Amino acid sequence: MSGIHERARDAFAAIQDRICEALETLDGRKKFIEDRWEHRADGAADGGGRSRVLAGGNVFEKAGVNLADVRGRLSERLAARLEVPPQLFEATGVSLVVHPLSPMVPTVHMNVRHIQLLGEQGDGHGPSWFGGGADLTPHYLFEEDARDFHRVLRDVCGRHEVGDYPAFKRWCDEYFHLGHRGEARGIGGIFFDYLKQSPEETLAFVEDVGNGFLPAYLPIVERRMALPWWDRQRHWQLLRRGRYVEFNLVHDRGTLFGLETGGRTESILMSLPPLVRWDYDAKPEPDSPEAALMDVLLNPREWIG
Amino acid sequence: MSGIHERARDAFAAIQDRICEALETLDGRKKFIEDRWEHRADGAADGGGRSRVLAGGNVFEKAGVNLADVRGRLSERLAARLEVPPQLFEATGVSLVVHPLSPMVPTVHMNVRHIQLLGEQGDGHGPSWFGGGADLTPHYLFEEDARDFHRVLRDVCGRHEVGDYPAFKRWCDEYFHLGHRGEARGIGGIFFDYLKQSPEETLAFVEDVGNGFLPAYLPIVERRMALPWWDRQRHWQLLRRGRYVEFNLVHDRGTLFGLETGGRTESILMSLPPLVRWDYDAKPEPDSPEAALMDVLLNPREWIG
C-alpha cells in the first residue's frame, strides 16, 4: 500500500468526523448512526468502511456520509474505459449527500477519493489518481447562495497549484448533466478526476476541498432553514428529487462504478433521497419560482466573475 | 414499411384501448388523460405515439399505458449489442406499468413490441423481431395470485407454437433481476425477445399476450383491493417501489434503449412510481409478511407444476 493512499484515507476519516459533528450540531434533533462494514468479494478483495446516516432530523431529512477503503477487481468494462488492463485496485474516499427537510434548503453532494491500481496480481503499483468535487442542488433558486457556494470553492482552488476553478467548474457542469432531460442537476460547483500529477500537492488540495464543504454549505442552510414552506414547495422538492435519482442511477459514474465492482449497495445508494415523486410530464407554471429554477438548470451560468 | 409492422402497430393500438377502458371501469374515479406526441430526431427520424396516464384514482395511484411507433437511429453501443452495423430502425409497441394505491394490490408490467431494422439509409429491410412479456411485482405475497398470474400466461403460451412458457418464465426470472441487490423484482411472469422466426404466428402470439393481460391481472386486483392496510404496509410499499426504480434505471434494457435512442423521456419514465422511499438499510422483521415476500424474491420459485 502506498504512503499516499494511507495518508489520504486518514485525511478522509478526519473529514468525515468533522462534517458529521457539524451537521449534528446544526440539526439539533437527530444523531448520525454509524455502520461499520467489511468488503468481501473474491479472494484478493477486502477492506471496508463506515457509513453514517442521520435520518428524520429537524433540518436534515436524510444525510449520508460514507467513508470507504476497499480493494477489488476492475470489471472489463471499467478497465476498458480507463484504458488499462483488467487488474486489482484500491480505492478510498469520503462521499456525502445531504437531503434537507425544507424545500428552501438545497441538497448538496461532496466527494473526495483516491484510486490506486495494483496490477494483475494485486502486488504491483500502477497509476493512481485523485478525484472529487462538490455541487449544490437547490429546489428554489437563491442567486446569493449559488454565488457564495462557488466563491468558497474558487477560493479553495486558488490556494493550490493543482486547483483550476474555471476548468473544474466547467467539468462539473458537464458531468452533472441529465442528457435525457437536457437539464443540469443543480447549479454546479467543481468536479475533477484523474489528477495524477504531484500527488503530495493534490492530496493537500482534495483535503482542502473536503474541509471547504462546511464553510461552503452551512451558511446557506442557516440562511434558508427558517423560511416558511407549504405543500406546493414540498411537492416540487419531491419532483426535483426524482431528477436526483435519475442522475445517480442512469448517469453517475461513481454509483455505477461502485455497483459494478461489488461495492456495498446500501452505502452506495445512501445518496438516494428519502422520499421522491414522479408525476407524468410535470411542468412549472410560467414566471413561477419553480420556472426560475428551471431556467438556470436549462441554461447553466457563470456564478462569479 | 413492412405489412407485419403496420399490423403489429394496429393490434397494439387496439390492446391499448381495451386495457385503458377496463382499468378506468375498475377504478371508477379517474380517467386516463391522453397525450399525443411526435418523435423528432435527426432528419430521417419520425413517428410518434399516444401516452395515457391515470393518476390519483381510487384503485390506481398511477397507471401508464403507452403506445409508440417511432423511427430512429441505433446508437453505436446498441448496434454493437445487437451485433449489426449502425443503421435506422422502426419500433412499435405498447407498454404499461400499473402502480396501485393499496400495498395489498401488486404492481404489474406488460409490454409487447416489434422492432424492424431498416439498413444504413433507412430504405432497406434488415432483421425484425418481436419481444415482450408480463410480470407481477407484489408488495405482499399471496401465493394464489402468483399461481393464477402464471397460469394465465402459461395458457397463452400453450395456444401458440412459438409460445414456450418454461423458457419464457426462466428468461423473465433472469431478466427482472437486480444484480446489485441479489433480488428478483417480483414473482416473475414471462419475458421473450428477438423472436425472429414465423412473424405471422409470432404476431398472433404477442397479441394474445397483450390481450391476456386483463384476465391475468384484474382478478387479482378485485381480490385484494378491499383489504385493509395501514402506515406500516404503505411504508413497505414505498420501499419496494424504490427497488422498482432501481431496476428500471440501472438494469432495464427497454428504458435505456429508449433514453439512448432519443425516445420521449416522459413516456419512457411513465413507468416510475408516483411516490417512493429509500431508507438506509431497511430490513423486514423476521417471520413478518414482509420477510415472506423477501424470501421468494431471494429464491425465485416455480409457481405452477
Per residue in A7-28, pLDDT tens?
999 999 999 999 999 999 999 9
pLDDT at position B45: 52
A-to-B residue pairs, Cβ atoms closer than 8 angstroms: 73
**Does the pLDDT at position A207 exceed 50?**
yes
* Residues of chain A positioned with their CB less than 8 A from the CB of B272: 242, 278
Put simply, the answer to whether A180 touches B259 (Cβ < 8 Å) is yes
Residue identified by cell 417480483 is: B186
All residues of chain B having their beta carbon less than 8 Å from the beta carbon of residue A180 are 259, 265
Average pLDDT over residues A80-98: 92
Nearest to A169 by CA among A189, A152, A147: A189
Higher-pLDDT residue of B46 and A100 is A100
Model confidence at A44: pLDDT above 70:
no
* Residue A183 scores a pLDDT above 50: yes
Does the CA dihedral B265-B129-B246-A68 come out positive or negative?
Answer: negative
State the Cα angle at B146 between B144 and B149, rounded to 5°: 105
- Count CA within 13 A, CB hemisphere, residue A237: 21
| A2, pLDDT greater than 70 | no
Cβ contact (<8 Å) for B272 and A62?
Answer: no
ipTM: 0.93
Instruction: Give SS3 for A63.
Output: strand
**Site from B31, B52, B255, B281 to mutate, A interface, most A CB atoms within 10 angstroms:** B281
| DSSP SS3 for A157 | helix
Q: Which residues of B touch A242 (CB under 8 A)?
A: 272
Nearest Cα of chain B lies from the Cα of A193 at a distance, in angstroms, of 23
Q: Are B291 and B285 in contact (CB under 8 A)?
A: yes
Whether the CB-CB separation of B158 and B150 falls below 8 Å is answered with no
pLDDT attached to residue A1: 41
B256 to chain A: closest CA residue = A250
* Chain A residue nearest residue B53, CA to CA: A280
Whether A269 and B279 lie within 8 Å, measured CB to CB: no
Q: How much is the average pLDDT of A186-209? A: 96
Higher-confidence position of A125 and B48: B48
* Residues on chain B bordering chain A, Cβ-to-Cβ distance under 8 angstroms: 35, 51, 53, 55, 62, 64, 179-181, 238, 242, 245-246, 249-250, 256, 259, 265-266, 269-270, 272-281
Asked if residues A244 and A186 have their Cβ atoms less than 8 Å apart, the reply is no
How far apart are alpha carbons B240 and B97 in whole angstroms? 15
- Please tell me which residue, A46 or B5, carries the higher pLDDT value: B5
A7 three-class SS? helix
Q: What is the pLDDT of residue B41?
A: 63
Per the CB < 8 A criterion, the answer to whether B150 and B169 are in contact is yes
- Going along B82-218, which residue ranges are E strands? 88-100, 107-119, 128-137, 177-178, 183-184, 188-195
B99, B109, B114, B150: which is the annotated catalytic residue? B109
Confidence band of A42 (pLDDT split at 50, 70, 90): low
Q: What is the pLDDT along chain B (305 residues), one digit of tens a residue?
A: 458 999 999 999 999 999 999 999 999 999 999 999 988 766 545 889 999 999 999 999 999 999 999 988 887 888 888 888 889 899 999 999 999 999 999 999 999 999 999 988 888 788 999 999 999 999 999 999 999 999 999 999 999 999 999 999 999 999 999 999 999 999 999 999 999 999 999 999 999 999 999 999 999 999 999 999 999 999 999 999 999 999 999 999 889 888 887 788 999 999 999 999 999 999 999 999 999 999 999 999 999 97
On whether the CB atoms of residues A196 and A269 are closer than 8 A, the answer is: no
Minimal Cβ distance to A250: which of B259, B275, B280: B259
- Choose the closest CB to A53 out of B242, B266, B280: B280
Q: What is the pLDDT of residue B189?
A: 98
* A139 pLDDT more than 50: yes
For residue A131, pLDDT over 80 is answered with yes
Please report the pLDDT score of residue B1 as a whole number. 41
The per-residue DSSP string of A108-136 comes to: EEEEEEEEEEEETTS-S---EEEEEEEEE
Does residue B31 sit in helix, strand or coil?
Answer: coil
Contacts of A250 in chain B (CB under 8 A): 249-250, 256, 259
Q: Per-residue confidence at A259, pLDDT binned at 50, 70, 90?
A: confident
**Letter string b/e over residues B175-207, b meaning 16 or more CB atoms within 10 A of that residue's CB:** bbbbebbebbbbbbbbbbbebeeebeebbbbbb
- Using a CB-CB cut-off of 8 Å, the residues of chain A touching B53 are 280
- The active-site residue out of A5, A39, A109, A139 is A109
Contacts of residue B295, defined as CB under 8 A and 6 or more positions apart, other chains included, come to none
Q: CA-based Rg of chain A, rounded to a whole angstrom? A: 19
Sheet of strand B60-73: strand arrangement: B33-38, B47-55, B60-73, B88-100, B107-119, B128-137, B188-195
Task: Kindly state the average pLDDT of the residues A52-59.
Answer: 98
pLDDT value at position A43?
A: 52
Find the closest chain A residue to B259 by CA distance.
A180
- The predicted structure's pLDDT at residue B20: 98
Nearest CA in chain B to A65: B280
pLDDT of residue A229: 98
Residues of chain A positioned with their CB less than 8 A from the CB of B280: 33, 35, 51, 53, 55, 62, 64, 266, 270
Residue the block writes with cell 480505492:
A91
CA distance B292 to chain A (A): 21
Compute the distance between CA of residue A30 and CA of residue A24 in angstroms, rounded to an integer: 7
Cβ-nearest to A265 among B51, B180, B274: B180
Tell me which chain B residues have a C-beta less than 8 angstroms from the C-beta of A256.
Answer: 250
Q: From the list B181, B249, B279, which residue is nearest A274 (CB)?
A: B279
Given this model, what pLDDT does residue A82 score?
Answer: 86
Question: How large a percentage of chain A has pLDDT more than 90?
Answer: 82
User: Which residues in A have their CB inside 8 Å of a CB on B?
Assistant: 33, 35, 51, 53, 55, 62, 64, 179-181, 238, 242, 245-246, 249-250, 256, 259, 265-266, 269-270, 272-281
Cα–Cα distance list, B88 to A96, B2, B216 (Å)? 42, 14, 36
Give the one of A274, A278, A280 whose C-beta lies nearest to B278's C-beta: A274
Min mean pLDDT across A75-84, A277-286, B41-50, B266-275 is at B41-50
CA distances from B116 to A124, A232, B268 (A): 50, 45, 19
Average pLDDT, rounded, for chain A: 94
CB contact under 8 A, B280 and A266: yes
Which of B178, B180, B246, B260 to substitute to test the interface with A, most A CBs within 10 Å? B180
Beta bridge partners, B280, equal none
C-alpha distances in angstroms, B295 versus A148, A192, B1, B292?
50, 43, 47, 5
Range with the poorest average pLDDT among A31-40, A166-175, B165-174, B226-235: A31-40
Q: What is the pLDDT of residue B43?
A: 52
Best probe of the A interface among B269, B277, B280, by most A CBs < 10 A, is: B280
**What is d(CA A288, CA A20) in angstroms, rounded to the nearest whole number?**
35
* 3-state helix vs strand vs coil in chain A, percent to 5: 45, 25, 30
User: Catalytic site residue B109?
Assistant: yes
